[in-house]
């Protein structure tokens, strides 16, 4: 199998026939063996019945149907597991991604040697206030944190070498950060291609403004796990020790100041009468708690079943 096209969908019945027809027209000139995997994420508009009908008429169409809506990450994870192509391309089902981009994405993986190629919707047909501006802010933050210079990290139109999708785990809402997951797995040849973007023809977007808040939190989680997932003590232990040390030094200074004042017969305030004492007490407690958090997290990490799982590229 040369190519697998994986499409996650939720209530996109009106788009499916036109979408699969466009994919067939785009790929026919390539004379390659391909499959279209449609992952129905708990749709209730009859999408699955249409997928079953199309699969009976075209053996290249395969499908997965969830009993309920699990989200795009779950759909892509199952689609990646089923994919048998040497190249895997993902795209959205709403007809905003152009199937005519598929041949060039396929070529960039096969001939140019990329591990992953991400689409860049340079000219978008979305609302500037609710999508374009937040998307630019989100992508700027993602570039800063991940170190991957992509203009559109969350573009649904992406191409991968088979090894990439078989060696990463897409979970939660991490579909937004597949390039970062790939980079952390050792696949660093990541490219970008400007792709055409079309206005939505049917229905409405399934994603609200909350995706930007969730996206930021997911990015922080992913950054922390990739940086400190196997050695959490390096994070919690350092911060906890620093806070405890600052609190301890301040306590010593307060006690020393009182002792010196007493020895010289000067006026002094009781240590417990000073607001700084209670702030210092909080610092000592918080520092100790952070240190113990790192210690417990380290014990959990060292007993994890995947503590010695590594990405091996070659063996001889």
pLDDT digits (tens, 9 = 90+) for 271-307: 778 888 899 999 999 999 999 998 898 888 777 666 5
**What's the pLDDT tens digit per position in 238-253?**
999 999 999 999 988 8
In sequence order, which residues have a C-beta less than 8 Å from that of residue 289 and are 6 or more positions away? 240
Task: Give, to the nearest 10 degrees, the angle between helix 13-27 and helix 102-110.
Answer: 50
Cα separation, 257 vs 202, whole angstroms: 74
Mean pLDDT, residues 60-85: 94
| pLDDT tens-digit readout, 137-165 | 778 888 888 889 898 888 999 999 999 99
Residue 164 main-chain phi, psi, to 5 deg: -65, -55
Greater pLDDT, 122 or 101: 101
Distance CA 100, CA 212 (A): 29
The edge-to-edge listing of strands for the beta sheet with 34-40 is 61-65, 34-40, 3-9, 87-92, 158-161, 116-120, 190-194
Q: SS3 of 116, please? A: strand
Percentage of the chain exceeding pLDDT 70: 90
Mean local confidence (pLDDT), 118-127: 79
d(CA 29, CA 25): 8
Mean pLDDT of the chain: 87
């Amino acid at each position: 199998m040369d190519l697998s096209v994986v499409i996650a969908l939720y209530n996109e019945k009106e788009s499916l026939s036109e979408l699969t027809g466009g994919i067939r027209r785009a790929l026919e000139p390539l004379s390659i063996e391909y499959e279209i995997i449609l992952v129905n994420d708990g749709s209730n508009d009859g999408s699955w019945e249409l997928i079953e009908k199309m699969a009976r008429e075209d053996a290249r169409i395969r499908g997965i149907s969830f009993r309920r809506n699990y989200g795009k990450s779950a759909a892509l994870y199952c689609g990646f597991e089923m994919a048998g192509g040497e190249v895997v391309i993902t795209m959205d089902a709403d007809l905003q991604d152009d199937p005519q981009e598929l041949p060039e994405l396929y070529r960039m993986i096969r001939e140019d040697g990329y591990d992953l190629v991400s689409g860049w919707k340079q000219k978008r047909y979305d609302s500037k206030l609710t999508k374009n501006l937040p998307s630019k802010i989100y992508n700027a933050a993602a570039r800063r944190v991940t170190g991957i210079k992509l203009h559109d990290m969350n573009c649904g139109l992406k191409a991968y070498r088979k090894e990439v999708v078989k060696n990463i785990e897409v979970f939660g809402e991490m579909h937004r950060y597949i390039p970062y997951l790939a980079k952390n797995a050792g696949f660093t040849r990541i490219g970008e291609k400007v792709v055409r973007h079309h206005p939505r023809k049917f229905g409405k977007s399934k994603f609200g403004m909350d995706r930007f808040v969730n996206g930021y939190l997911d990015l922080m989680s992913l950054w922390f796990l990739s940086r400190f997932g196997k050695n959490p003590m390096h994070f919690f232990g350092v911060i906890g020790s620093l806070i405890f040390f600052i609190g301890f030094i301040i306590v010593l200074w307060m006690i020393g100041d009182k002792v010196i004042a007493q020895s010289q017969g000067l006026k002094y305030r009781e240590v417990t009468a000073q607001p700084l004492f209670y702030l210092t007490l909080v610092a000592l407690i918080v520092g100790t708690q952070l240190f113990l958090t790192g210690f417990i997290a380290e014990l959990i990490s060292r007993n994890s079943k995947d503590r010695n799982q590594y990405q091996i590229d070659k063996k001889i």
